[in-house]
Amino acid sequence: MSVDPGRTIVLWCPDWPVLAAGREHGLDPVAPMALIEAGLVFACSAAARRDGVARGLKLREAQYRSPDLIVLDYDVALDARMFEPVVRAVEATVPGVQLVRPGTLAMRARGPARYYGGEDAAAEALLATVAELGVDGARVGVADGPFAAEQAARAAGASPFLIVPPGASARFIAPLPVGLVVDARTNILLSRLGVRTLGELAALPDADVRRRFGAAGAFAHERAAGREHSRVVARTPPPEFEVEQHFEPPLDRVDQLAFAFRMRAEEFIDRMRAVRLVCTALRIELDDERGGHSSRSWLHPRWFTPADVVDRVRWQLQGAGTADDGLASPIVRLRVVPERVDSTGNHEEGLWGGGPDERVHHGLTRVQSMLGHEAVVTAAIGGGRMLADRQVLVPWGDRAPERPNDAPWPGSLPALAPASVFRERLPITLLDASGTSVAIDARGTISSPPERFAVGGGRATPVRAWAGPWPVVERWWDAEHAKRVHRFQVVDDDGCAWLLVRDADGWWAEARYD
């Protein structure tokens, strides 16, 4: 009944997350570096490990041990994305590869061993393949079953590969700690029971382990005994949708580039449509002649059509400029990668066409292609004390950032909100009866009541009513972002009400109730 897992090769790239992050951010791989997940070190480079940094350490402790430590956030997607070329190259050398996790690949040994003339020759061929991609220090382990083979790869140490002879896997893994096959809680329990190595676990009677630890325990027991049921399940290489175009000579005009890319964009969408997929998010990467690189993800509220893709390329290129603007540096390479695809079935139009919202979307997309992506926005109310912080404008099609707005925000305005909120605060003057500017002292009292009020350099008009100051103190603990302002409400002679703020630079109109 037990399935023979067969001889398995595992290719392991040590510290892959660190390598991937270092490549993405252009960092020196020999520098001490650590990736952080949930405040704990997830992975670290060899240099950091020499300083005493280890997985599971708190960030502060790691920085204490290695003061030069470069700290980055761990990004699972980046990890997988960077590993993809490695998987492809290995697939070209050895077919039927299983991606265990980014950095670790498993494959069956029989085919490659016969083709290359021996397991050691196959291992060397694999190592040569990944070395070509610049992945140094990869290790190969060969054993009976993926688990044992991975342990062999990790145990290889200084030599590039380690081959455990057939039938010797159980003996090979016996001295390894039991934590490799069970979860943390069971690990503690087992060590209290005096079972510390895989060999000791394997020595327990099968039925007893099952009775005491259930199915998970039985599974771990079989692994520990070198009887693995799991076999290598080769992945099906995903169809390639990304398109890439090189420009020779490089193009430096947005409209030229958009025109040149139009055909490719259609091909990009058609290829997906052929397998009944639609793209709902994509990433555009641009390389320019001077070696600059720009990469940005674009979302679509529905799905991308070829014209939409070309639009996104244009927007990314022109930024705030117009279509006729020249670029800072000519573009040599353009690559479009789908980030999220979905089955067309989920996006099928109704029998009588989509709802009115679809029309709205088309119309707004037209306006966006006229003015640029950022020009058409939807609004949401975010958190904050200053009015400009509270309005969150999201370009049409992008997802609204999740900002809590249910917090009380002491110091924010009461229910009546001003109808006009100035993007740039207007400079104003607020004068008292003697014609001097109203001042506020450190205790928040005004020098004299305001009498006259003028916007910009305009004529001063009498103040009909006023109230204030209402202090707003933000981030006093942070010298750079600290803000301390006083707010006033003022009604001018025309019966128009203003919200004024006084900060270190003077008097401003923040908003108008008009």
Partner 1 sequence: MTAPLAASAAPPARVEELQARIRGMQATRLDSKAVPTHPALRSVLPGGTLREGTVVQVEGSMTLLMALLSGPSASGHWVAVAGFPEFGVEAAARFGIDLERLVLVPDPGRQWLTVVAALADVIPVVAVRPAGRVSPAESSRLQARLRQRGATLLVAGDWPGSDARLGVEASEWHGLEQGHGRLAEREVVVSAARRGEFVRSARSRLRLPGRALEFAPVGQGAAELAEPVSLDDTRRRAAG
Residues found near partner 1 in the complex (CB under 8 A): 356, 359-360, 362-364, 366-367, 370-371, 375-381, 387, 390-391, 393, 396, 414-423, 449, 465-467, 489, 491, 494-497, 511-514
Comparing CB distances to partner 1, the nearer of 108 and 425 is: 425
Torsions phi, psi for 103 (to 5 deg): 105, -15
Closest to 163 measured CA to CA, from 133, 107, 123: 123
108 versus 390: smaller Cβ distance to partner 1: 390
Nearest distance from residue 127's CB to partner 1, in Å?
A: 56
Nearer of residues 108 and 314 to partner 1, judged by Cβ: 314
How many Cβ atoms from other residues are within 10 Å of residue 121's Cβ?
13
What's the min distance (Å) between Cβ of 254 and partner 1?
17
At its nearest, how many Å lie between partner 1 and the CB of residue 498? 10
Judged by beta carbon, residue 352 or residue 477, the one nearer partner 1 is 352
Q: Which is nearer to partner 1, 380 or 460 (CB)?
A: 380
Decide whether 304 or 466 has the Cβ nearer to partner 1.
466
User: Minimum Å distance from CB 186 to partner 1?
Assistant: 49
Helix (H) or strand (E) holding 262: helix 254-274
Q: What is the C-alpha to C-alpha distance for residues 245 and 333, in angstroms, rounded to an integer?
A: 6
Amino acid letter, residue 3: V
C-alpha span between 384 and 495 (Å, rounded): 28
For the CB of residue 474, give the shortest distance to partner 1 in the complex, in Å: 18
* CB closer to partner 1, 125 vs 364: 364
CB of 347 to partner 1, least distance (A): 20
32 versus 397: smaller Cβ distance to partner 1: 397
CB of 438 to partner 1, least distance (A): 12
Report the C-alpha gap between 361 and 396 in whole angstroms: 9
**Closest approach of partner 1 to the CB of residue 361, in Å:** 8
Measured CA to CA, the distance from residue 243 to residue 319 in angstroms comes to 22
Question: How many Å is the Cα radius of gyration of the chain?
Answer: 32
Strand partners, 37: 40
User: Closest distance between partner 1 and the C-beta of residue 479, in Å?
Assistant: 29
* Positive/negative CA dihedral, 339, 343, 346, 348: positive
Judge contact between 110 and 6, C-beta under 8 A: yes
The residue assigned the tokens 């006083």 is: 486
| Integer Cα distance of 189 and 141 in angstroms | 30
Q: How near is the Cβ of 418 to partner 1 at its closest, in Å?
A: 5
77 versus 416: smaller Cβ distance to partner 1: 416
Q: In Å, what is the CA distance from 218 to each residue of 149, 182, 212? A: 20, 10, 9
CB-nearer residue toward partner 1: 31 or 364: 364
CA separation for the pair 70, 62 (Å, rounded): 10
Q: What share of the chain is helix, strand, coil (3-state, %, to 5)?
A: 35, 30, 35
| Strands laid side by side in the 7-12 sheet | 97-101, 104-108, 7-12, 139-144, 161-163
Choose among 123, 158, 126, 159: nearest CA to 143. 123
